[in-house]
Amino acid sequence: MSVKRDENWEPQILAFCCNWCTYTGADLAGLNRMKYPENVRVVRVPCSSRVNPQFILRAFQKGCDGVLVCGCHPGDCHYATGNYFTRRRFMLMQRLLEYNGIDPKRFQARWISGSEAAKFRDTVTRVSQEIKELGPNKKFQEEWYSEGGAGNE
Amino acid sequence: MSSIIEELQSTVKKLLEDGTVGYVIGWGATRFPDRTTPVFITRPEDAHKLVWNHYCVNGTAKYALDDRYPEKKIGIIIRGCDSRAVNRMIQDNQLKRENLYLIGIPCDGKENPVCEGCQHKNPLVYDVLIGTPVEEKINPDRFKEVAEFEKLSQDEKYEYWAKQYDKCIHCYACRNVCPACNCKECYADQYRVGWQGKQNNRNSNQVYGLTRAFHVGDRCIECGECERVCPMGLPIMRQTKKMLKDINDLFGDYECGLNDSRPHVLGEFDLQDRDEFM
Amino acid sequence: MSRIGVFVCHCGTNIAGTVDVARVAEAMKAEPGVVFATDYKYMCSEPGQQMVKDMIKEHKLDRIVICSCTPRMHENTFRKMLKDTDVNPYMLEIANIREQCSWVHTDKEKATEKAIALARMAVAKVGRDFPLFTSTIPIHKKALVIGGGIAGIQAALDIADAGYQVTLLEREPSIGGRMVMLDKTFPTLDCSACISTPKMVEVSAHPNIELRTSCELEDVSGYVGNFEVTIRQKARYVNHDICTGCGLCETKCPTKVISEFNQGMSERRAIYKSFAQAVPAKPVIDPDHCRKLQEGKCGVCQAVCPLKAINFEDKDTTFTDTYGAIIVSTGYQLIQWQDLYPEYGGGRFKDVISGLQFERLVNASGPTEGHILRPSDQTEPKDVVIVKCVGSRDPKKGKSYCSRACCMYAAKHAHQILEKIPDSNVYVFYMDVRTPGKGYEEFYDRTRKDGANYIRGRVAKIYKEGGRLICRGEDSLLGRQVTVEADLVILETAMVPADGIGEVVHKLGIAMDADGWVQEAHPKLRPVETQTAGVYLAGTCQGPKDIPDTVAQASAAAAKVCGLFSKSEMETSPMTSKVDQSKCCGCGHCEVCCPYKAITLVEIDDREGPKKIRRTVASVNSGLCQGCGCCAAACRTGAIDLLGFTNDQILREVDALCQ
């Protein structure tokens, strides 16, 4: 893990993007050569409803400073209703995390359609900026007690 | 009180004698006057061992999960909270109503702080009712504790919970006693998919605590068993109650385990749900 | 141990211009499981693909990671490539280092670092890939069309003409739907019955069409290619195998009932054909009004029937058949305006009629034999008011949408009145006139030239004074109140989905919009499909439309069905959900959130200690599952998982990202 106290500290941001809308929107941003910070990494999922809230916890555990879940706009879901479940799950998850001390800015969900390349760029740029201001996330981070690492195997 | 015990014992005796039930789950005396223990009465002549007093604190319903396919009906002596547990486990397809014989007993609160906020002292579902219903009261402070806690700063909240989870010994007692924790195999016990670490340290305990809250929070019947059994005294219900509070705020009035509770608050949606993710 | 090969594409300078591709490949060599890593100019090119194939042989690779453009571009290309190798096509992951890295970043150092992280995530994921196999499902080449209006008729005929078997289901005793009730069709004014009844006859005579009237959908299970459909045949009390449709029974039946077909403006008998050209041309008994069935007395029809076709003991029966595809064409009905618009009399005034009632009035085979006569006193009206948008474009009382056909048929009604009644005056109250269609605007122009008075505004109140109806409204162009005295008022009411559509939708596992119309899979690109594979839409069940659009959509749906039937089997994506039944506790949380009804709870044999038990677990129908993974996130125990995007794989990706 990198030392996170230096001047040039860059946050680590994970974005779960649904294949049909946001991932396509992110591709379109590339096609249009839009620019956004390098610190955003996309994990492709078929639908935002695929994202298990436990994945978010895992990301914080492993040292992510911010997590984004992005999907189609409600009503536009490729699978008809998936994002309505996403909406319920993550409204609760965001509040539960806040209740446990995680700033809501560190875990956000957004609807970004396949045509909204600019919204994708703006969203990740803004989230990146917000998290930069918050600084590195230490909460919920795994501590490495033994050589064997987290012992998940 | 004594007449209720007699009624209880004679009812159980009769049920065992006529073969309605295979056994009855209830409370029995211990050598301490202020303690009772869950008992399984299998013979009619043992019915007198049942007690009913201020110290009958253990939940009785979850034991039925250890015998999901009984040959005869399981008799369970249930208070209001136990009846909600039964309802919830039936909604989760874990118990079948026809396998249960429910001996309801109105409860005026036990030696358990959670009873003070109880809104359902009378069993909501039963086959036979012992004694007479007691007066119910609405608890206006149902989420007061949560609301107070919400006011703390993020760092204060984190510090509070971190200290709590430092105390946690990762014993899973809260899981084992919870009627909403009814998976066949808990995610935390799996090692093929590394959901989370199993060691007893702050982070593993935090992740376990939060995951547990999310897994059961939408189905928490507020019986408080998790807190009662926690050997380290963690305020576990404060997490699940937060979930319940948010569900109430966001998706409408919600209480679990009632006869007409919505069974899947996270497995349904409303097109008009609030949208914060635009 | 896995043997992973990583191939980093330059994409000319598209990637290599911003990302140090050689460094990415070099970095990957250090990742666990990677036995080979290289970079190449164009991975998707023929030599690029050949290199992958060669390296698979040389290094005995069993998993491939390609760092290139978006998987949306070439994932299938590389999967196809792997079909010729020993590597399973699903043991492949693509790291998107072009659209989501080199094209959006400029700093070469940082972009390279990101590309390495993305590649590492793909390596972590591919390490947890396992072989997946596409399966094929047979296609049962028989289609079910639900609803025998013009949409269903057209779809059934098209499919049948292509040589496939069709069952056409209609809940009424006759097919024909709404179109056959109409008099003339705009803008050409050809006779509606003259163009629809031949099609009805064609349906009944077509060797490939099985016509099922008085039938309703009872239950649907299965999936595309293999729907098991149970259909309820309602009791008709007339044996149609024997009946010749001579009509003697109808003339002798003593019970008179309001005619639905003539919109309540005439009577039929309790044993009846809906209308003269009904198909099938055989009567049924209306059990709610038949004296024999209600009171046990009468039975005249049975006595007079020369063929003894009447059977009062008839019962509802059900039958089950297998269909490869289903077309929903359940149509529309008109909004119940009486409850919504008390200011228009709420149905108390006999001479305030709906557009469909007017169609029957003006129809030569209707209750007045085509003479426009007031229902109250059978006199010819001189002043007629037509009110448009009754229930349409009125979110407060009715529906917010536009019913699309009303502007045109209002013009048609105005034209017909002016044509049939000399010296008549027609006033049309309108909000806007919408005429998007071939020849539509011309027709509207012609109507105005015929003398129809168009008044822009809504009618606020209709009341009776003397024998006449007083319509008070606003002329919003002149900005003043207007009062028109009329003999007859025609309300052009909104279309709403047919009664019972909710049940059909529920049984088929498809979706409805907020107004109850059936939801298409995509409003632009998949307008006749639903989100359930193998279920298609035709006509007004999807939303208000006129006859040309309905017929076009019906033919489009039929073409989709024929396309499906042109293959004998269908390949299904293996990236579906899968249940580990040993872990599943059968709580059903996955079942409720599945949009495709692909998950059902089933009972399996199991043991608990020495005891044999029947245990409930979830089961996924991979023919129905579309692979969204909503169930996998709902499952607390992780018993249900999405192949290709398993919990394990996503967790590995997250871990790799933060290394």
Q: What is the pLDDT of residue B1?
A: 56
- Judgement on whether residues B159 and B92 belong to the same structural domain of the protein: no
> What gap in Å lies between CA C26 and CA C34, rounded to an integer?
11
- Judgement on whether residues C373 and C456 belong to the same structural domain of the protein: yes
What is the 8-class DSSP label of residue C109? H
Name which of C105, C634, C654 is nearest A55 (Cβ-Cβ): C654
Task: Name which of B152, B241, B277 to mutate to probe chain A: the one with the most chain A Cβ atoms within 10 A of its Cβ.
Answer: B277
Backbone angles phi, psi at C443, to 5 degrees: -65, -40
Which residues on chain C are in Cβ contact (under 8 Å) with A1? 658
Name which of A88, A90, A100 is nearest B210 (Cβ-Cβ): A100
- Judgement on whether residues B199 and B113 belong to the same structural domain of the protein: no
Q: Is B278 on the interface with C (CB under 8 A)?
A: no
* Residue predicted with more confidence, B246 or A4: B246
* Residue predicted with more confidence, C610 or C217: C217
- Judgement on whether residues C556 and C583 belong to the same structural domain of the protein: no
- Inter-chain residue contact C637 with B187, CB threshold 8 Å: yes
The count of CB pairs under 8 A between chains A and B is: 117
Overall average pLDDT of the C416-443 stretch: 95
Name which of A28, A45, A80 is nearest C595 (Cβ-Cβ): A80
* Residue predicted with more confidence, C583 or A142: C583
Domain assignment present for residue C171? The answer is yes
What residue has token string 């591919």?
Answer: C126
Domain assignment present for residue B76? The answer is yes
Closest by CA position to B143, among listed B232, B220, B82? B220
Which residues on chain A are in Cβ contact (under 8 Å) with C113? 38
Read off the amino acid at residue C645: F
Q: Per-residue confidence at A147, pLDDT binned at 50, 70, 90?
A: very low
Query: What's the whole-number average pLDDT of chain B?
Result: 93
Nearest-CA distance B25 → chain C (Å): 21
Strand order across the beta sheet in which C209-212 lies = C209-212, C165-169, C142-146, C325-328, C535-537
- Token pair of C9, please? 């594409």
Determine the residue of chain C that is closest to A125 in CA distance: C104
- Judgement on whether residues B109 and B164 belong to the same structural domain of the protein: no
Q: What is the pLDDT of residue C168?
A: 97
In angstroms, how far is CA C267 from the centroid of its own chain? 35
> What gap in Å lies between CA C71 and CA C79, rounded to an integer?
11
Q: What is the pLDDT of residue A5?
A: 54
Closest by CA position to B198, among listed A150, C583, A145? A150
DSSP assignment of C420-475, as one string? HSTT-EEEEEES-----STTHHHHHHHHHHHT-EEEES-EEEEEEETTEEEEEEEE
Q: What is the pLDDT of residue B48?
A: 94
Q: What is the pLDDT of residue A144?
A: 55
Q: Is C581 on the interface with B (CB under 8 A)?
A: no
> What gap in Å lies between CA C216 and CA C504, rounded to an integer?
9
Q: Per-residue confidence at A6, pLDDT binned at 50, 70, 90?
A: low
- Judgement on whether residues C100 and C49 belong to the same structural domain of the protein: yes
Domain assignment present for residue C265? The answer is no
Q: Is C585 on the interface with B (CB under 8 A)?
A: yes
Domain assignment present for residue C628? The answer is yes
pLDDT tens digit sequence for B127-161: 999 999 999 999 999 999 999 999 999 999 999 99
Instruction: Using the predicted structure, report yes or no on whether residue C408 has a pLDDT greater than 80.
Output: yes
Q: Per-residue confidence at B271, pLDDT binned at 50, 70, 90?
A: confident
CA distances from C108 to C104, C111, C130 (A): 11, 5, 34
Name which of A84, A101, A110 is nearest B154 (Cβ-Cβ): A101
pLDDT tens digit sequence for C324-356: 999 999 999 999 999 999 999 999 999 999 999
Domain assignment present for residue C570? The answer is no
Closest by CA position to C406, among listed C473, C342, C496, C343? C496
Q: Is B183 on the interface with C (CB under 8 A)?
A: yes
Instruction: Using the predicted structure, report yes or no on whether residue B207 has a pLDDT greater than 60.
Output: yes
Task: Name which of C105, C112, C506, C654 to mutate to probe chain A: the one with the most chain A Cβ atoms within 10 A of its Cβ.
Answer: C654
Which residues on chain A are in Cβ contact (under 8 Å) with C594? none
- Judgement on whether residues C459 and C484 belong to the same structural domain of the protein: yes
Name which of C587, C592, C593 is nearest B94 (Cβ-Cβ): C587
Nearest-CA distance B211 → chain A (Å): 7
Which of B129, B163, B197 is the last residue before a domain boundary?
B129
Task: Name which of B154, B161, B219 to mutate to probe chain A: the one with the most chain A Cβ atoms within 10 A of its Cβ.
Answer: B154
3-class state of residue B58 by DSSP: coil
Strands C577-579 and C569-572: unpaired
- Judgement on whether residues C210 and C109 belong to the same structural domain of the protein: no
Domain assignment present for residue C297? The answer is no
> What gap in Å lies between CA C193 and CA C363, rounded to an integer?
10
**Domain, as residue range, for B39:** 2-129
Determine the residue of chain C that is closest to A37 in CA distance: C105
Total domain count for chain C? 4
> What gap in Å lies between CA C471 and CA C464, rounded to an integer?
9
- Judgement on whether residues B7 and B85 belong to the same structural domain of the protein: yes
pLDDT tens digit sequence for C456-501: 999 999 999 988 999 999 999 999 999 999 999 999 999 999 999 9
Nearest-CA distance C379 → chain A (Å): 52
Overall average pLDDT of the C169-187 stretch: 95
- Judgement on whether residues B102 and B186 belong to the same structural domain of the protein: no
- Judgement on whether residues C394 and C512 belong to the same structural domain of the protein: no
Instruction: Using the predicted structure, report yes or no on whether residue A145 has a pLDDT greater than 70.
Output: no
Query: What's the whole-number average pLDDT of chain C?
Result: 94
pLDDT tens digit sequence for B105-132: 999 999 999 999 999 999 999 999 999 9
Which residues on chain C are in Cβ contact (under 8 Å) with A55? 650-651, 654
pLDDT tens digit sequence for C257-313: 999 999 999 999 999 999 999 999 999 999 999 999 999 999 999 999 999 999 999
Locate all alpha helices (DSSP H) within chain B, ordered by sequence.
2-17, 80-91, 144-150, 154-167, 173-177, 202-216, 225-229, 237-251
According to DSSP, the residues that pair with B23 across neighbouring strands are: B74
- Judgement on whether residues C361 and C492 belong to the same structural domain of the protein: yes
Overall average pLDDT of the C429-445 stretch: 95
- What whole-number percentage of chain C has pLDDT above 90? 90
Domain assignment present for residue C276? The answer is no
Which of B102, B129, B156 is the last residue before a domain boundary?
B129
List residues of chain C with CB under 8 Å from any CB of chain A: 70-72, 96, 98-100, 103-107, 110-111, 113-114, 117-118, 121, 511, 519, 531, 575, 593, 595-596, 626-630, 632-634, 642, 645, 647, 650-651, 653-655, 657-658
Overall average pLDDT of the B203-227 stretch: 94
pLDDT tens digit sequence for C357-368: 999 999 999 999
Domain assignment present for residue B134? The answer is no
Q: Which residues contact C624 (CB under 8 A, 6 or more apart)?
A: C223, C224, C509, C532, C533, C596, C597, C598
- Judgement on whether residues C529 and C639 belong to the same structural domain of the protein: no
Which residues on chain B are in Cβ contact (under 8 Å) with C639? 184-185
Q: Is A87 on the interface with C (CB under 8 A)?
A: no
- Judgement on whether residues B153 and B237 belong to the same structural domain of the protein: yes
- Judgement on whether residues B169 and B108 belong to the same structural domain of the protein: no
Name which of A75, A85, A100 is nearest B158 (Cβ-Cβ): A100
Q: Per-residue confidence at A1, pLDDT binned at 50, 70, 90?
A: very low
The count of CB pairs under 8 A between chains A and C is: 129
**Domain, as residue range, for C19:** 4-126
Overall average pLDDT of the C5-26 stretch: 96
Q: What is the pLDDT of residue C523?
A: 80
Contact (CB, 8 A) for B208 and B178? no
What residue has token string 């874990």?
Answer: B94
Q: Per-residue confidence at A80, pLDDT binned at 50, 70, 90?
A: confident
- Judgement on whether residues B166 and B218 belong to the same structural domain of the protein: yes
Q: Is C631 on the interface with B (CB under 8 A)?
A: no
- Judgement on whether residues C342 and C485 belong to the same structural domain of the protein: yes
Nearest-CA distance A95 → chain C (Å): 18
- Structural domains for chain A: 13-134 (3.40.50)
Which residues on chain A are in Cβ contact (under 8 Å) with C107? 38
pLDDT tens digit sequence for C539-559: 999 999 999 999 999 999 999
- Judgement on whether residues B99 and B72 belong to the same structural domain of the protein: yes
The CATH number of residue C154's host domain is 3.50.50.60
- Judgement on whether residues C346 and C386 belong to the same structural domain of the protein: yes
- Judgement on whether residues C505 and C479 belong to the same structural domain of the protein: no
Give, in degrees to the nearest 5, the angle at Cα C583 between C578 and C586: 80
Q: What is the pLDDT of residue A153?
A: 33
Domain assignment present for residue B16? The answer is yes
- Judgement on whether residues C437 and C488 belong to the same structural domain of the protein: yes
- Inter-chain residue contact B93 with C592, CB threshold 8 Å: no
Q: Per-residue confidence at C514, pLDDT binned at 50, 70, 90?
A: confident
pLDDT tens digit sequence for C115-139: 999 999 999 999 999 999 988 889 9
> What gap in Å lies between CA B196 and CA B172, rounded to an integer?
14
Determine the residue of chain A that is closest to C93 in CA distance: A44
Total domain count for chain B? 2
- Judgement on whether residues B55 and B122 belong to the same structural domain of the protein: yes
- Judgement on whether residues B124 and B200 belong to the same structural domain of the protein: no
Domain assignment present for residue C279? The answer is no
- Judgement on whether residues B74 and B181 belong to the same structural domain of the protein: no
Determine the residue of chain A that is closest to C642 in CA distance: A50
What's this model's pTM, rounded to 2 decimal places? Answer: 0.76
Please, what sign has the CA dihedral across residues A25, A31, A34, A39?
positive
Domain assignment present for residue B217? The answer is yes
Q: What is the pLDDT of residue A151?
A: 38
Overall average pLDDT of the C147-155 stretch: 97
Q: Is B19 on the interface with C (CB under 8 A)?
A: no
Name which of A30, A58, A121 is nearest C651 (Cβ-Cβ): A58
- Inter-chain residue contact A24 with C110, CB threshold 8 Å: no
- Inter-chain residue contact C113 with A38, CB threshold 8 Å: yes
Backbone angles phi, psi at B5, to 5 degrees: -60, -45
CB atoms within 10 A of CB B171: 13
